[in-house]
Chain A
Amino acid sequence: MKLVEIKDLLKCEVLAGEEDLSVDVSHVVASDGMSEILAFAKSKELMVTGLTNIQSIRTADIAGVSAVVYCRGKQPDKNVIEFAKQKRIPVLVTKMVMFDICGILYNRGLKGVS
């Protein structure tokens, strides 16, 4: 599924990478624990997290995920968004909670990683 479809589905605001929303994702990794993301992401997944500090983008970069979705409407600081832009990682934010995000994406055929 393309990021632009995910943006509409989850009613997201795009904070970084508006120009990169044509990227396709098929798998999702969701956690507030960065080591969990690092342990399970195989690369190119969509990362869903409630952690909005700089480490979330560092983890996204190291794990090689395609994009980050922040849940519960949490807004990161400006420096976090700048860092994501620098690393060319699209960042979206939705007011939905993680459970609902995962449920919606699962229903649409996206898979988890284990």
Chain B
Amino acid sequence: MAAELLRENFQVQGRNYDKAGEISSEIKVILKDLGIDAACLRRVVIVAFEAEMNVVMYADRGTLTLVLTDRDISLEVKDEGPGIPDIELAMKEGYSTASDEMREMGFGFGMGLSNMKKNSDEFCLESEVGRGTSVFARIRIDSHA
């Protein structure tokens, strides 16, 4: 069993594009201060940022939980959004349901979920239409992919 060293919960505010990404920036500072390896840190903050942007773009609110153990860093993101009807399709690079507003923000080009998966050692996406989506990602501290 890995020893839990840190657990932080963050509230993600949906539709607030000005604040979008603040939590991921904060996570970057927290993990950098703890001396987490740069390559690992990069993977974690990319996953966090893409997940945070998805909550901001699609949901009214969500939560992001960061857990650091002596072996890995995990991120759990849960939102109260519309849910994803076809997860396989949503995971396909290039597939997007983004609005013009989202694209104007520089997001919604159908790469977010695949980026998150690519940067995780373990990735799980669950969703229920009308209820919301939850994402779990684990990144090993010794990973340099």
A interface residues with partner B (beta carbon < 8 Å): 32-36, 38-39, 43, 49, 51, 53-56, 58-59, 61-64
A64 closest partner in B (C-beta): B42
Give the Cβ gap from B13 to chain A, nearest Cβ, in Å. 15
B50 touches A38 (CB 8 A): yes
| Residues A43 and B21 in contact in the complex (CB < 8 Å), given A32-B106, A38-B46, A53-B106 | no
Q: Which B positions have Cβ atoms within 8 angstroms of A?
A: 17-18, 20-21, 24-25, 28, 38, 42, 45-46, 49-50, 104-107, 109, 111-112, 114-115, 118
Could you show 26 A-B contacts with beta carbons less than 8 Å apart? A33-B106, A33-B107, A33-B111, A34-B107, A35-B107, A35-B111, A35-B115, A39-B111, A39-B118, A43-B38, A51-B106, A53-B106, A54-B18, A54-B21, A55-B17, A55-B20, A55-B21, A55-B106, A56-B106, A61-B28, A62-B21, A62-B42, A62-B46, A62-B49, A63-B42, A63-B46
* Docked CA distance A49–B107 (Å): 13
Cβ–Cβ < 8 Å partners of B24 in chain A: 58, 62
B109 near A36: Cβ-Cβ < 8 Å: yes
Q: Is the interface of A mostly helix, strand, loop or mixed?
A: helix
Please indicate the chain B residues that have their CB under 8 angstroms from the CB of A59 in the complex: 21, 49, 106
